[in-house]
Amino acid sequence: MSRIFLKHQSPLRRRYGSFDINSKCDTDALTIRLESLNGVKRAKVNDKARTFTLYSDGSWDVKSLEKELSKIDFGSFANSNKTSKNRLNTNEPDMSGLLRSIAALALTPVSSNNGVKFTISAVGCAPLLVRGIDDLIKNGLTSRVLEAMAVSVSLARKDYTAANSTNALLELGEYIEETTAQKSDDLVKELGKPNVDKVWVEEMVESQKVLKQISSHLVKVGDIVVIGAGETVAVDGHVIAGEAMVNQASMTGESEPIKKERGDRIMSGVIVKEGQIKIWAEQVGDNTATARIKHYILSSLEEKSAIGLKASKLADKLVPVTLGLSALSYLVTQNMQNVASVLQADYSCALRLATPVAFKSAIAQAGKNGILVKGAKVLEALSSADTFVFDKTGTLTYGELEVISVTSFDKNWTKEEILNLTASTEEHYFHPVAEAVVKAAKKLGFIHMHHEEVEFIVAHGVKTVVSNKDVTIGSRHFLEDDERINFKEYENEINKSLEEGKTILYVGYDGKLLGMIEMFDKVRQNAKDVIERLKTLGAKKIVMLTGDVSSRAKAIGEELGIDEVYANMLPRSKAKIINELKSKGSKVVFVGDGINDAPALMSADVGISMFKGADITKATADISLMKDDIEALTQIKTLANKAIERIHKNFNTTVGVNSAILLGASTGVFTPIITAVLHNSTTISLLLNSMKKLKMS
């Protein structure tokens, strides 16, 4: 999509140019994108020179790298609101200003000549004065303008110690602010760093299976990826062979390794601690869980909350107040030192910086606990949510069918034989129904029945041949309408199971209905506790939506303490319910996992997708759970509540403390140096407070 050209190279460093990079480039977003490339350890973007430099971790493939670079649309990384100094600096904070100001402060007392003192001080303070003039021209009255005025007043009064001390404190404060903000950004970006460059895949060569190592971005859907101890999984898929203990801490926050074996689903980003497994790749490249994390990270870094915008606007409005107070102080006291002191103290630094840092720290903490949040607005909306709406299957239930009974309609076939026949036919597929049947058969001592090649018919079932007789397994529509198998004789048994909310798999043999396997999706053990906890966290109403029959839906609702239950729901009806709740003034959170939940997720104030949710569900949701535990809902709600509480406390502290500092400065209690120390110390303290880890329980 973009034309790039190599400007300089070394074994571990390459600098490229692109005319699509310009002064409007969002260098932070582009840097994050470049650092997501395979083999890239670090990236630096120079928008003025229209270049970017990539540093290797020692494993990059230059041809593959440049192929990926050519696909990036550098022109799309434009930010019309980019300021002259970007706070989200991905490079190391610049110490030059701090060193220059300290040097001026140290050298000024050495000279006895006022001219020399003025020259040294002017050189040391020049960047601050230039920034102040630039801000005044471009943005009007800002905190930088006030800072420049404060130093200018001290220089005019020949109070060089005050001017240089103030400048040094401001530079120190800015350096610490940038360092703090950078650490906050790094917490978030760390979650999306690539960690797999090469993978082993199993291929057939002359009728023999051989292992071949290839770049991870070359893996295709359907490839068999082999992962051994110490290696990181690069694809999303299912285990088809082997056993392993895997550490999922990087993706789900679970510290204890868990066992993965045939049929288990596995995510990219997890680490195999013991054993070896073969994975059938279902999601590769940009569709994997780790790739989606990178997308979430870009969103969370760039998005501003309503609270953050409000703080910025308030900071702008308070600048004239500070300026007016300095003028009033001079009129009353006729003392320019008081004026210089007042100009040192403003609200803007703490108001502008503490809020986004608090949000980013919370988002990073959520990510490390297996909860991906798409930005500050989401946390803000979640904190005020008062209504939680659940789709039943896969959320309040495990979303995993379990065989609870087998019914035989042929006295020559036992229940165990029907289960073995079905498991023998279904064992090669990863459909939830097939997995439930195979699991149940193994518990009873699975005996494999020889069969011919299995034909899989999408959305219907499977067909094969056993002992020269046709076997058909699947839905009633498939067996009755397509295969012409008679169901009338068994209507009573079938209807009774359906009324109880059971899922039925029908088994046909030799043109007759041989039996049925009844399955059930169990309610999660901690679902009731989670609902009770959500009510203590601010949820006034809990609603359940389901396509189940009314009797089964109401029974689950009563069991879990749900306030409202809607049964026999169609996909389009779910979004309608959400909109009706919102029209009544409710702040709605919707939790779902199916493809048909996407409209409801988009309609809600906050959409949350479950761990096993469909890809479209995860793409649509504002929050995506990377662990199969509904307890994560209470964790993220708790985190959102506490993050907003912290932001409000910071806000009140900023206004209260800085107002007190302004009062002391305007009455002459505080000198310019003391005012600068108090003001910057307050800002730094609030920043450090914003980065503290919050309790999620």
pLDDT digits (tens, 9 = 90+) for 23-51: 677 776 788 778 778 778 778 887 767 88
The CA distance from 394 to 597, in Å, is: 11
Domains, the chain, with CATH or none: 5-76 (3.30.70), 96-189+305-360+642-690 (no CATH), 198-294 (2.70.150.10), 407-497+504-516 (3.40.1110.10)
Segment 441-446 shows an average pLDDT of 92
Is residue 429's pLDDT more than 70?
yes
Better pLDDT: 91 or 178:
178
Q: What is the pLDDT of residue 508?
A: 96
Under 8 Å between Cβ of 616 and 600: no
Better pLDDT: 186 or 515:
515
Is residue 86's pLDDT more than 50?
no
Residue 638's pLDDT band (boundaries 50, 70, 90)? very high
Q: What is the pLDDT of residue 82?
A: 42
Contact partners, residue 41, CB within 8 Å, separation at least 6: 35, 55, 56, 57
Terminal C-alpha separation, the chain: 46
Looking at residue 39, the DSSP 8-state letter turns out to be: T
User: Which of 181-190, 519-528, 532-541 is predicted least confidently?
Assistant: 181-190
Which range has highest mean pLDDT (85-89, 366-370, 538-542)? 538-542
Under 8 Å between Cβ of 231 and 271: yes
The CA distance from 212 to 223, in Å, is: 11
The CA distance from 45 to 67, in Å, is: 19
Alpha helices in 386-487 (DSSP H): 415-426, 432-443, 476
Strand 5-10 and strand 13-17: pairing? Answer: antiparallel
Strand-pair partners of 455: 463
Better pLDDT: 338 or 418:
418
Residue 515's pLDDT band (boundaries 50, 70, 90)? very high
Question: Position of tokens 């994560």?
Answer: 632
Segment 420-444 shows an average pLDDT of 87
Segment 571-599 shows an average pLDDT of 86
The CA distance from 102 to 176, in Å, is: 15
The CA distance from 250 to 267, in Å, is: 11
The CA distance from 430 to 265, in Å, is: 9
Under 8 Å between Cβ of 668 and 330: no
Q: Kindly report the number of other CB atoms within 10 A of residue 288's CB atom.
A: 24
Q: Dump pLDDT digits (tens) for 623-635.
A: 988 888 899 999 9
Under 8 Å between Cβ of 591 and 631: no
Q: Output the CA torsion sign for 311, 315, 318, 322.
A: positive
Better pLDDT: 109 or 170:
109
Question: Burial letters for 616-651: b for 16+ Cβ neighbours within 10 Å, e otherwise?
Answer: ebbebbbbbbbbbbbbbbbbbbbbbbbbbebbeebb
Helix (H) or strand (E) holding 590: strand 588-592
The CA distance from 385 to 213, in Å, is: 49
Q: Dump pLDDT digits (tens) for 331-340.
A: 887 778 787 7
Q: What is the pLDDT of residue 278?
A: 92
Q: Kindly report the number of other CB atoms within 10 A of residue 331's CB atom.
A: 8
Better pLDDT: 675 or 638:
638
Residue 308's pLDDT band (boundaries 50, 70, 90)? low
Segment 64-70 shows an average pLDDT of 83
Segment 174-181 shows an average pLDDT of 66
Nearest to 230 by CA among 178, 274, 194, 186: 274
Q: What is the pLDDT of residue 304?
A: 54
Segment 341-369 shows an average pLDDT of 77
Phi first, then psi, for residue 108 (nearest 5°) are: -60, -45
The CA distance from 655 to 345, in Å, is: 11
Q: What is the pLDDT of residue 296?
A: 55
Question: Burial letters for 470-505: b for 16+ Cβ neighbours within 10 Å, e otherwise?
Answer: ebbbbbbebbbeebebeeeeeeeebeebeeebbbbb
User: Which of 130-144, 299-313, 433-447, 616-630 is predicted least confidently?
Assistant: 299-313
Q: Kindly report the number of other CB atoms within 10 A of residue 604's CB atom.
A: 28
Is residue 81's pLDDT more than 50?
no
* Inter-helix orientation angle 348-368/306-333, to 10°: 160
> For residues 476, 478, 482 and 483, what is the CA-based torsion angle, rounded to 10 degrees?
-80
Q: Output the CA torsion sign for 150, 151, 152, 156.
A: positive
Q: Kindly report the number of other CB atoms within 10 A of residue 84's CB atom.
A: 10
Q: For the CA atoms of the chain, what is the radius of gyration?
A: 32
User: Which of 128-142, 335-349, 646-660 is predicted least confidently?
Assistant: 335-349
Q: What is the pLDDT of residue 582?
A: 94
Q: What is the pLDDT of residue 84?
A: 36
Better pLDDT: 251 or 371:
371
Segment 352-374 shows an average pLDDT of 82
Q: What is the pLDDT of residue 305?
A: 55
Q: Chain-wide mean pLDDT for the chain?
A: 82
Strand-pair partners of 259: 245
Is residue 684's pLDDT more than 50?
yes
Cα angle 222, 228, 234 (rounded to 5 degrees) comes to: 45
Looking at residue 25, the DSSP 8-state letter turns out to be: B
Q: What residue type is 194 in one-letter code?
A: P
Phi first, then psi, for residue 506 (nearest 5°) are: -95, 140
Better pLDDT: 10 or 264:
264
Is residue 217's pLDDT more than 50?
yes
Question: Position of tokens 């990036």?
Answer: 72
Is residue 87's pLDDT more than 80?
no
User: Which of 239-243, 316-320, 430-434, 641-645 is predicted least confidently?
Assistant: 316-320
Q: What residue type is 1 in one-letter code?
A: M
Q: What is the pLDDT of residue 294?
A: 59
Under 8 Å between Cβ of 449 and 421: yes
Under 8 Å between Cβ of 401 and 432: yes
Residue 79's pLDDT band (boundaries 50, 70, 90)? low
Percent of residues in the chain assigned helix, strand, coil, to nearest 5? 50, 20, 30
Is residue 439 packed enough to be buried (19+ CB in 10 Å), middle (13-18) or exposed (0-12)?
Answer: middle
Strands of the sheet containing 51-56, edge to edge, are: 5-10, 13-17, 51-56, 40-46
Q: Dump pLDDT digits (tens) for 561-580.
A: 999 999 888 767 888 999 99
Nearest to 552 by CA among 475, 498, 594: 498
Q: Output the CA torsion sign for 191, 193, 198, 204.
A: positive
